[in-house]
Structure 1
Amino acid sequence: MVDFSDFDTRGYPTVDVRTGYAGWVDTYEQTVEDAMDLAVLDRLDTPRWAEVRRAADLGCGTGRTGAWLRGRAGAGLVLDGVDLTPEMLARAEARGAHDGLTEADVADTGLAAGAYDLVVSSLIDEHLADLGPYYREAFRLARPGGHCVLVGLHPYFIMAAGMPTHFTGADGADVAITTHVHLVSDHLAAGLAAGWTLVEMREAVVDEVWIALKPKWAKYRSHPVSAAYVWEKR
C-alpha cells in the first residue's frame, strides 16, 4: 500500500472527511474546477447518459455531479444522493438535482439492491482507506447491465504534487482532509474482485485549460491529473 505521508509536501493540519467538508462547504463550489471531474465525464463513451433512468450519486457533496447528470439524462431521471456530511447534503438539497438524499457512508448506503442503472462518484476515492467496500456496495446497488463510473484525482498527480485535498478555513489557514493514494492497479484489483468488468478508462493531463485556471501548475504540464473508471455489471 502506498502511504500519502511519503509524498506530502504541505504538512497541513489534517482533519477527517466529515469535519473537513463541513468546514469547506461555504467555498467548495468556488474552489473545485469542472476540469477536474466533469470535463472528464464529458469525454466518456460509456454509459449513454440519456438512457440512465435511475442513478445513485455516492459522495454527492453539494450536488455538482448530480446537476451535471440531470442535465444529460433529462427529466425522467430518478437520482438518489448519499453523503457523509450533513452540511454538504443541505447544499445538495437546496440545489434540487436529487430526488432523495441520505446521510450515510458510501460503503454502506442503505439504498435498495439492484435498483440502479448507474452508480456515479466524483472526487471521493482519495478519502477511502480501502476501495473494496466502495466497489462492493456499488455492485450491490447496480442492476445487471448497470454501470459504475468513478472519477477522481490521478494517483500520479497526488504523488507528484505532494498535495492533499485541502481547503482554506475561515481563519485563513490551510487544512488538509485525510488523503489516501490508490494506484490505478488498486482500482482494477478492487473493482474486479467486487465482480465488475472494466469497459472504459480515461486519463486527463494538465493542459492549457488547466494552466489558464492554475498558472502555478505549468510545471506539471502533460502530467496526469484525473482518471475515470467505467465498470459494467455483467
Structure 2
Amino acid sequence: MVHFSDFDTRNYPTVDVRTGYAQWVATYEQTVEDAMDLAVLDRLTTPAWPEVGRAADLGCGTGRTGAWLRARATDGLVLDGVDLTPEMLAAARERGAHDSLTEGDVAATGLAEGGYDLVVSSLIDEHLADLGPYYREAWRLARPGGRCVLVGLHPYFIMAAGMPTHFTGEGGADIAITTHVHLVSDHLTAGLAAGWTLVEMAEAVVDDAWIALKPKWEKYRSHPVSAAYVWEKRA
C-alpha cells in the first residue's frame, strides 16, 4: 500500500474531510479548476450523457458536477446528490441542479438499490482510505447496464508534486484535507472486485492550458494530472 506521507512535501496542518470542506466552501468555486475534472469528463466518449434518466452524484459538493451533467441531459433527468458536508450541500441546494440532496457517506448512501443509469463522482477518491466500499455502493445503486464514472487527481501527480488536497484558511495559512494515494491498479482491482467492467479510461496531462492557469506548474508539463474511469454493470 502506498501512503501519501511518503510523498508529502508540504507538511500542512491536516483536517478531516468534513471539517476541511466546511471551511473551504466559501472559496471552493474560485479555487478548483474545471480543467481538473469537468474537462476530462468532456473527453469521454462512452457515456451518452443525454440518455441518462436517473443519476446519483456521490460526493456532490457544491454541485459543480451536477450542473455539468444537467447541462448535457434531457429535461427528464432525475439527479440525486450525496455529500458528507452540510455546508457543501447548502451550496449545492442554492445552485439547484439536483432533485434531492442527502447528507451521507458515499460508501453507504441510503439511496434506492438498482435505480440509477449513472453513478458519478468527481474529486473524491483521494479522500477515501479504501476504494472497495465506494465501488460496491456504486454497483448496488446502478441498474443492469448502468455506468459508474469517477474522475479525480491522478495518483502520479499527487506523488510527483507531493501536494495534498488543500485550501487557504481564513487566516491565510494553507490547510490540507486528509489525502490518500490510490494507484491506477487500486482502482482496477476494487472496481473489478465489485463486479464492474471497465469500458473507458482517460488520463489528462499538464499542458499549455494548465500552464496558463498555473504558471508554476511548468515543471510538471506533460505529467499526468487527472484520470477518469468509466465502468459498466454487465452482470
TM-score band, normalised by the shorter chain? Answer: over 0.9
Letter in 2 for 1:117: D
Letter in 1 for 2:17: V
**Structure 1 equivalent of residue 184 of structure 2:** 184
CA distance in 2, matches of 1:142, 1:166: 32
CA distance in 1, matches of 2:23, 2:173: 12
CA distance in 1, matches of 2:21, 2:53: 29
Contact 2:138 2:148 in 1 (8 A): yes
Letter in 1 for 2:95: R
Q: Deviations over 1:202-229 (max 9, x none)?
A: 0000000000000000000000000000
Q: Deviations over 1:145-187 (max 9, x none)?
A: 0000000000000000000000000110100000000000000
CA distance in 2, matches of 1:74, 1:30: 28
Contact 2:51 2:74 in 1 (8 A): no
Letter in 2 for 1:218: E
**Structure 1 equivalent of residue 41 of structure 2:** 41
Letter in 1 for 2:12: Y
**Structure 2 equivalent of residue 156 of structure 1:** 156
1:215-230 matches, cutoff 5 A? 215-230=215-230
**1:118, distance to aligned residue in structure 2 (A):** 0.0
Contact 2:131 2:190 in 1 (8 A): yes
SS in 1 for 2:30: helix
Letter in 1 for 2:164: P
**1:75, distance to aligned residue in structure 2 (A):** 1.5
**1:109, distance to aligned residue in structure 2 (A):** 0.1
CA distance in 2, matches of 1:39, 1:76: 24
| RMSD (CA atoms) | 0.3
CA distance in 2, matches of 1:232, 1:158: 27
Matched, 1:83 2:83: yes
Letter in 1 for 2:140: R
CA distance in 1, matches of 2:74, 2:5: 43
Q: Deviations over 1:70-105 (max 9, x none)?
A: 000132100000000000000000000000000000
1:191-210 matches, cutoff 5 A? 191-210=191-210
**Structure 1 equivalent of residue 131 of structure 2:** 131
| Structure 1 residues not aligned, in runs of 5+ | none
1:30-179 matches, cutoff 5 A? 30-179=30-179
CA distance in 1, matches of 2:55, 2:200: 19
CA distance in 1, matches of 2:145, 2:73: 17
**1:144, distance to aligned residue in structure 2 (A):** 0.1
CA distance in 1, matches of 2:153, 2:8: 15
**Structure 1 equivalent of residue 3 of structure 2:** 3
CA distance in 1, matches of 2:144, 2:3: 35
Name segments (4+ residues, structure 1) moved above 4 Å: none
CA distance in 2, matches of 1:225, 1:43: 14
Count of residue pairs brought into register by the alignment: 234
Percent identity at matched positions? 88
Letter in 2 for 1:52: V
**Structure 2 equivalent of residue 214 of structure 1:** 214
Letter in 1 for 2:142: A
Letter in 2 for 1:173: A
CA distance in 2, matches of 1:73, 1:226: 24
